[in-house]
Amino acid sequence: MKTENIIIKETANKDLTAIFEVESQAFGHDKEARLTEALLGDSTAKPVLSLLAFYNEKAVGHILFTRVYMNEMSENQPLMHILAPLAVIPEYQKKGIGKMLIMEGLEKLKQSGSVLVFVLGHIGYYDRHGFVPDAAKLGYQAPFPIPEEFADAWMVQSLNSSDINLEKGKVLCANELNKPEHWRE
């Protein structure tokens, strides 16, 4: 498989079945697939960016970015997002598809005016793609407490090269993601 044969497209409603399949296969259960489906229907998650990766017209990867806020849900804040979830079906993992989805997503978010992207994810993976570990040390608290031994898993990336003086505080996710069960192992 060659990565130049991978095509990444923004999703539409007609892609919901493919998204559900990718998420379910990637994680081996449907928890993330159901969360993704709920987030796509959550008005507090908008604007969202949902991308599918295709290989020979087969959906093999998916990434979702949803809107987050700082301290309160106010439209007067700079545009910020969280990456959750990222999924690549098992036989296509470790082939660069996740990286392609992340990089394409970050570029599209930057073009749309988003200034920060957060992720709660694997240390040693997301930091290779520009995310800075332990966002709490930088003043960005996770929506729910992260145990100290996993503090580096809460990460942030600036999409704006200029020094923007953003308000610090507690990150608030869309209603569907702002639940404690999504923030525990």
* Mean per-residue pLDDT pooled into runs of 10, the chain (185 residues): 83 95 96 95 96 96 97 89 97 96 98 95 94 94 94 94 71 94 79
Helix, coil or strand: residue 149: helix
Q: Pairing relation of β-strands 169-172 and 140-141?
A: parallel
- Contact between 89 and 53 under an 8 Å Cβ cutoff? The reply is no
Alpha-carbon distance of 68 to 49, in angstroms, equals 12
**What confidence score (pLDDT) does residue 161 get?**
64
pTM, entire model: 0.95
For the chain, list the domains and their CATH numbers: 3-178 (3.40.630.30)
